[in-house]
Every structure is written in structure tokens, then in C-alpha cells.
Amino acid sequence: MNATATKRWDRIAWSKWLLFPAALLPALLLLQGALQNTLGADPVKALTHATGLWALRFLLLSLAMTPFRLWTGWTGFIRYRRMLGLYAFFYACLHLLVYLVLDLGTYWADLLTDIQKRPYMTVGFGAWLIMLPLAITSTRGMIRRMGRHWQRLHRLVYVAGILAALHFLWLVKADLREPGIYAGILAVLLLARLWPKRRARGTGPVGAATTSRK
């Protein structure tokens, strides 16, 4: 590894130390707000909404790393993907925990009823279930053990993103602008994944022949 590559790696490694507390800050601010009773008239609703929103934000950020690499040509974006994905799962767990402990209280059995009867709960819990094995297998050791199967499993993150966006859309009954924005961002990221494949097919033998005749 040359000096330039070593310097770039050091820069990314140091930036991760800045990203870690920055990504944790929203949770700390929510905790402070809960302790100081500054979350408004319905703190449980505020906590539920905020933790779910941050889970979706970090999930979209993790999905954006590959398109950013394709658009800019800088491979360093990929090194942030695992941390962002784990923070998405962390906030999703907080989101579920707030619902279980503060909303349902001791009536945890109602969770199964809500999942069966409320579509937004069905897709939301489905997104969390998909993210669970992705978080468990995010270590380097699991990547080595699973081999090519690891990449196949982690493609499910796109399904989790779609389910999370649907969860937000179906949860909001009146003003759909905010969930619509996040759904639009997800659509752009999914299309960005398809574009390189289409371009690659266009530059194959047939595409090359077509280009040469112009």
C-alpha cells in the first residue's frame, strides 16, 4: 500500500470516530428531552416518531453509499456503509422498544394483534425482522464465513428500505408530504442501483457495435 492510500485510509478511519458520536447524538438528545420533559404534550408519540425517523434516515444513508461511489468514483463511501446500517438498526430497535415499553406497557401480547390487524405495523415489523440478521452478520468474521451468500443476504436491505418507507406512508393518515419525500429518496437510490447495469449492457458487444456505427 502506497503512502497516498495509507493517508486516505487514515482519513476515513478518523472520520469514523467523528461519525460515531454524531450518529449517537439524536438518541442522547431524545433521552435528555425525555428526562427534562421537553418533548411536548405527548412525549411517547414524539419518541416513537423521532426514533423511527432516524432509523429510516440512517437506512437511506447506508443505501446511498453505493450510488455515491458510482456517481463520484470515490470508494471511501463504502467504508461508512456498515456503521450507518448498524445505526439504522439501533434506532429501529429504539423505535420498537419505545412502542413496547412506553406505548403497550405490560400488554406486550397486543403486539401480535397489532401486527396482524394493522398493515403499517405488519410492514414495519417486517422491516425490523429483515434488519436483524443483517446486523448480526455485519462483522468481518461473518463475511468471511458466509462468502458469496453474505452478499445475497444483505441485498435484503433494499426490501427493508421499501417496507420501512411503506410503514411511514401508511402510518401517516393526513399529510403525506414528509413520508413522500423519504419514499422519493428511496426510489432514486433504487433506480441508481439499476442504472450501472443498464449502462453496462449498453457497452457490451451489441452496444459497442451500435456506438461504432454512429
- The Cβ of residue 46 has, within 10 Å, a number of other Cβ atoms equal to 17
- What three-state secondary structure class fits 137? coil
**All cell numbers assigned to 101:** 415499553
Task: Please tell me the pTM assigned to this model.
Answer: 0.85
Note whether residue 206 is domain-resident.
no
The answer to whether residue 176 sits within a structural domain is yes
CB 193, CB 67: distance < 8 Å: yes
**Residue 212 domain-assigned?**
no
Check whether 182 has a pLDDT greater than 90: yes
Q: Is residue 210 part of a domain?
A: no
Domain that holds residue 69: 3-195
* pLDDT attached to residue 212: 37
Q: What is the C-alpha separation between 209 and 214, in angstroms, rounded?
A: 9
Amino acid at 138: S
Give me the pLDDT at residue 172, please. Answer: 86
- Across 35-63, average pLDDT: 95
135 occurs within a structural domain? yes
* Cα–Cα nearest to 77, from 202, 192, 162, 195: 192
pLDDT at residue 175, rounded to an integer: 83
State the greatest distance between any 2 C-alpha atoms of the chain, in Å, as a whole number. Answer: 72
